[in-house]
Amino acid sequence: MPWPSASIAIGDLCNRLIQNLRLRVSSGSLTVRRLAKEVGVSQPHMQNIMSGKRALTIGMADRLLQYQQLSVLDLANASELGESLGRAASDAVTMRYVPVLPGRLGPSDPFPELRGETRWRSLPPRACAHVLRPAFVELGSDMDLAREFPGAAFALLDLATDARRRISKQRWYAIRWSGGGWIRRLRLEHESLIVLGQGGLRPFPGPARIELGKTVVEEHVRALVIWIGQDPKFENPLRRSGYLMPPPAEAS
């Protein structure tokens, strides 16, 4: 059975890129000479690309996009983007894409927040079907956490408000305190968050108690920790080594 034809192909995008540049040249807002200088090729070479005598390579297309401060998505129209988003949504049975928070989560790092451009990791939907707002984050240096979870470098979080609001002393949470990020177990007591696991003799290097006052729990508790383990880029993180796999009953 032949493959179905793509609604938009790479060749279509390249043609649109060249057409956009031709329109700028014809309007006088750009010259071939300037364009060639900006992307680092000779003027005759760029003239041949613009006229179609030379094929536009992927590398050259990337340079031309960078010069115009565009992404390849800017070359697609709204209908094509909507169609692609629809296919991605219907393909949720085979793959789910999870954002990676910028920065690192640790006491010495500013607490990471989702913003602007971000990286993504794919996961089988069954691995995180019960997670409403999943996000991966790289872990910063935290000796106490490393003792509990040796070798852990990444965490899968649930950023959903309900997950942050419901506190269970059996679960681990990412809390924002003094500007940094701390992964700890908690207990909600009256109008305070009690940080658990402080039975050692040495001073505890983090918050012991967070008074809520007029604030709410989710202002301090930024995520529920679903999983902790190695870099998810290299393997399915919820099927191999790691910690904190939620019990089946919680996933139901």
State the architecture of 96-251 in CATH terms. Answer: Ribbon (2.10)
Do residues 183 and 155 touch, judged by C-beta distance below 8 A? Answer: yes
Q: Kindly state the helix (H) or strand (E) to which residue 112 belongs, with its residue range.
A: none
Angle formed by the axes of helices 32-39 and 10-27, nearest 10°: 130
* pLDDT at residue 89 in the model: 54
Q: Around Cβ 235, how many Cβ atoms within 10 Å?
A: 13
DSSP β-bridge partners for residue 228: 155, 243
10-88: in CATH 1.10.260.40: yes
* pLDDT at residue 35 in the model: 92
* pLDDT at residue 243 in the model: 67
* pLDDT at residue 234 in the model: 65
Phi, psi of 43, rounded to the nearest 5 degrees:
-65, -45
pLDDT of 47 strictly over 80? yes
Of 27-36, 124-133, 205-214, the range with the highest mean pLDDT is: 27-36
* pLDDT at residue 248 in the model: 42
Output the CA angle 84-88-91, nearest 5 degrees.
140
Q: How far is CA 62 from CA 22, 70, 97, 100, 226, in A?
A: 17, 9, 24, 24, 38
Q: Around Cβ 17, how many Cβ atoms within 10 Å?
A: 20
| pLDDT, tens digit (0-9, with 9 covering 90-100), for 115-173 | 766 788 878 777 777 888 899 999 999 988 888 888 889 999 999 999 898 899 889 99
pLDDT of 202 strictly over 60? no
Q: What is d(CA 171, CA 222) in angstroms, rounded to the nearest whole number?
A: 14
Q: What is d(CA 146, CA 142) in angstroms, rounded to the nearest whole number?
A: 6
Least trusted range by pLDDT, from 98-102, 137-141, 166-170, 196-200: 196-200
Domain boundaries for CATH 2.10.109.10 within the chain: 96-251
pLDDT of 219 strictly over 50? yes
Over residues 5-24, the mean pLDDT reads 82
Domain boundaries for CATH 1.10.260.40 within the chain: 10-88
pLDDT of 45 strictly over 60? yes
Task: List the one residue out of 173, 168, 143 whose CA is nearest residue 155.
Answer: 173
Do residues 60 and 42 touch, judged by C-beta distance below 8 A? Answer: no
